[in-house]
């Protein structure tokens, strides 16, 4: 194959990759390699295609072969470093990225990759220094501002974090992850109008910039779709009464697990299964849009939690169960909720909240009555550890999580409730009862601040983990307050 044909195939392969045609790109690169198995640009191209397709082990082989012929090729070193990082080979990744940066110290993308690799290796100070340098010298590299902003949030330096998100969004207004985190910062600080606007822009970047005027809702049929988790849906549905007051006819399409509970919700025309539509034409919004739609701008305007009514027959059955299990008062407990975030997903808000069950059990050992474990799907050893700390056996109520009609009745009858933030906190609030909430650091926006009580769930005391990850003071205060009416 002559050089002109080789060059044309390589250029066409790169064009196909840029156009989102990996099959066409692979065909071009393979044609070159059939004639010259050691062609560096073609091997490099195949490595990038494998990396694009989520196959870093395959990419690594192609890129290593390419690098053998061009050991000082900067972009090869860079891409190999990125590939090794995705293959969970941090030391090798760091070595290649440091080589690339030594050859091209002014390349901001190589510096960005190196900063990420340093962070993954636990070398946070070096990573932060590199992010700061990029923010100062290359403001167009928005990921550097974003990564540094997340670190500032974790350090409690929220004003700096906000300025960094602003900087990233000034360059890249469509950067959803920066807008989302900025919105949560606004909400945590009580700047509700700005916060809801940012979250709405993330959910519907091409949607209207402003909510409809008050008069628009009169006589309008509106379908509210499920949004995020069960607790999030219950939390946001507190705003529905404001739309019905404006004359809207509301239908709900929630997660099936809470559909029966919501079918008794006041002012709602009906509850639909996930694939069903109202019989008449409806304006469709997300439940997460409700605060924005209703124009909430200040925390003082927050409506109370959504009222929820347990079924009388379930209340009677649970009351009998507790009576048979032993004397009260009864305390419900949950020590873990949510999922661990996936690596690299860019989410700062904690999806997994957890306190050590042994230490929590010790803090609750002075409770004068029975204890019900409400932990959903306890992990091996957790119940044993909790009961060891408690100093006695506890009633296993974990199965109640599978049918929330039963859980709602149980939560309404418990004398006290201690939990990390989870769906059951919102269910209990709906019955007019409070929860003692264990708040992990950094806190979710609904539990932000330094106060000893929730703004969104009045009457719920909060017990905060320190920035260093220490629960001791929170658990000591929890133990001291047990038995006091909330």
| Domain ranges, ordered by start, for the chain | 139-208, 214-301, 312-481
DSSP string, 31-53: HHHHH-TT-HHHHHHHHHHHHHT
Q: Given this model, what pLDDT does residue 294 score?
A: 95
- Mean pLDDT of the region 335-356: 67
d(CA 455, CA 325): 35
Residue 109 and residue 141 in contact, taking contact as beta carbons nearer than 8 Å: yes
Other CB atoms within 10 Å distance of the CB of residue 354:
20
pLDDT tens digits for range 142-185? 999 999 999 998 888 999 999 999 999 999 999 999 999 999 99
Residue 354 and residue 470 in contact, taking contact as beta carbons nearer than 8 Å: no
The pLDDT-based confidence of 35 (bands split at 50, 70, 90) is very high
Q: Using the predicted structure, report yes or no on whether residue 46 has a pLDDT greater than 90.
A: yes
Closest CA to 452 of 429, 470, 474: 474
User: Among residues of the chain, what percentage have pLDDT more than 70?
Assistant: 97
Q: Given this model, what pLDDT does residue 203 score?
A: 83
pLDDT tens digits for range 96-126? 999 999 999 999 999 999 999 999 999 999 9
- 139-208 folds as 1.25.40
pTM of the predicted model, to two decimals? 0.85
d(CA 13, CA 7): 10
Q: Using the predicted structure, report yes or no on whether residue 449 has a pLDDT greater than 90.
A: no
d(CA 145, CA 149): 6
Distance of alpha carbon 167 from the chain centroid: 23
Quickly tell me which residue has 């909510």 as its tokens: 211
Q: Using the predicted structure, report yes or no on whether residue 202 has a pLDDT greater than 90.
A: no
Identify the architecture of domain 312-481 in CATH: 3-Layer(aba) Sandwich (3.40)
Arithmetic mean of pLDDT over the chain: 93
Q: Given this model, what pLDDT does residue 81 score?
A: 96
Please indicate whether the domains covering 139-208 and 312-481 agree at the CATH topology level: no
d(CA 93, CA 79): 10
d(CA 80, CA 171): 28
Task: Name the β-bridge partners of 220.
Answer: none
Residue 66 and residue 40 in contact, taking contact as beta carbons nearer than 8 Å: yes
Closest CA to 40 of 97, 48, 104: 48
d(CA 78, CA 95): 10
Q: Given this model, what pLDDT does residue 279 score?
A: 84
d(CA 53, CA 44): 14
Q: Using the predicted structure, report yes or no on whether residue 342 has a pLDDT greater than 80.
A: no
Angle at 406 between CA 401 and CA 410, to 5 degrees: 95
d(CA 180, CA 177): 5
Residue 141 and residue 115 in contact, taking contact as beta carbons nearer than 8 Å: no
Residue 22 has which token pair? 């990996």
Residue 127 and residue 119 in contact, taking contact as beta carbons nearer than 8 Å: yes
Give the lowest-confidence range in 244-248, 275-279, 386-390.
275-279
Instruction: Determine which helix (DSSP H) or strand (DSSP E) holds 284, and give its type and residue range.
Output: strand 283-286
Helices 3-18 and 40-52, packing angle to 10 deg: 20
d(CA 81, CA 68): 15
Q: Given this model, what pLDDT does residue 208 score?
A: 87
**Four-way CATH pick for 214-301: 3.30.70, 3.40.50, 1.10.3470, 3.90.1530:** 3.40.50
Alpha helices (H) along 218-330: 230-236, 240-245, 256-262, 290-293, 312-325
């Amino acid at each position: 194959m002559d050089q002109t044909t080789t060059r044309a195939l390589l250029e066409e392969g790169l064009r196909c990759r840029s156009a989102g045609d990996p099959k066409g790109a692979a065909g071009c690169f393979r044609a070159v390699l059939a004639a010259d198995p050691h062609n560096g640009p073609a091997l490099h191209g195949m490595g990038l295609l494998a990396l694009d397709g989520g196959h870093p082990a395959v990419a690594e082989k192609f890129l290593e072969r390419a690098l053998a012929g061009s050991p000082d090729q900067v972009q090869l070193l860079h891409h190999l470093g990125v590939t090794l990082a995705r293959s969970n080979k941090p030391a090798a990744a760091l070595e290649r990225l440091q080589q690339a940066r030594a050859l091209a110290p002014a390349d901001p993308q190589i510096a960005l990759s190196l900063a990420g690799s340093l962070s993954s290796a636990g070398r946070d100070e070096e990573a932060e220094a590199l992010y700061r340098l990029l923010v100062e010298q290359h403001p167009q590299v928005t990921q550097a501002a974003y990564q540094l902003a997340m670190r500032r949030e974790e350090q409690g330096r929220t004003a700096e974090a906000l300025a960094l998100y602003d900087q990233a969004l000034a360059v890249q207004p469509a950067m959803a992850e920066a807008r989302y985190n900025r919105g949560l910062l606004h909400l945590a600080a009580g700047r509700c109008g700005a916060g809801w606007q940012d979250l709405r822009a993330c959910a519907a970047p091409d949607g209207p910039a402003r909510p409809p005027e008050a008069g628009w809702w009169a006589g309008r049929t509106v379908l509210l779709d499920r949004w995020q988790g069960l607790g999030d849906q219950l939390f946001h549905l507190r705003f529905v009464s404001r739309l019905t007051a404006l004359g809207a006819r509301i239908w709900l399409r929630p997660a099936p697990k809470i559909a029966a509970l919501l079918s008794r919700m006041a002012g709602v025309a009906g509850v639909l299964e996930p694939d069903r539509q109202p019989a008449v034409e409806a304006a469709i919004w997300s439940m997460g849009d409700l605060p924005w739609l209703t124009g909430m701008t200040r925390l003082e305007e927050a409506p109370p939690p959504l009222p929820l009514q347990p079924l009388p027959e379930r209340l009677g059955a649970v009351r009998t169960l507790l009576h048979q299990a032993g004397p009260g008062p009864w305390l419900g407990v949950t020590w873990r909720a949510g999922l661990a975030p996936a690596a690299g997903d860019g989410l700062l808000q904690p999806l997994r909240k957890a306190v050590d069950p042994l230490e929590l059990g010790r803090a609750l050992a002075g409770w004068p009555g029975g204890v019900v474990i409400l932990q959903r799907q306890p992990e091996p050893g957790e119940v044993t550890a909790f009961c060891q700390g408690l100093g006695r056996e506890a009633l296993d109520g974990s199965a109640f999580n599978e049918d929330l009609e039963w859980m709602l009745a149980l939560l309404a009858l418990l004398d006290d409730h201690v939990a990390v933030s989870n769906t059951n906190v919102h269910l209990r609030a709906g019955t007019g009862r409070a929860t003692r909430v264990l708040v992990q650091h950094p806190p979710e926006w609904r539990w932000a601040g330094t106060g000893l009580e929730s703004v969104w769930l009045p009457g719920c005391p909060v017990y905060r983990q320190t920035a260093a990850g220490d629960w001791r003071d929170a658990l000591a205060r929890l133990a001291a307050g047990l038995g006091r009416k909330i």
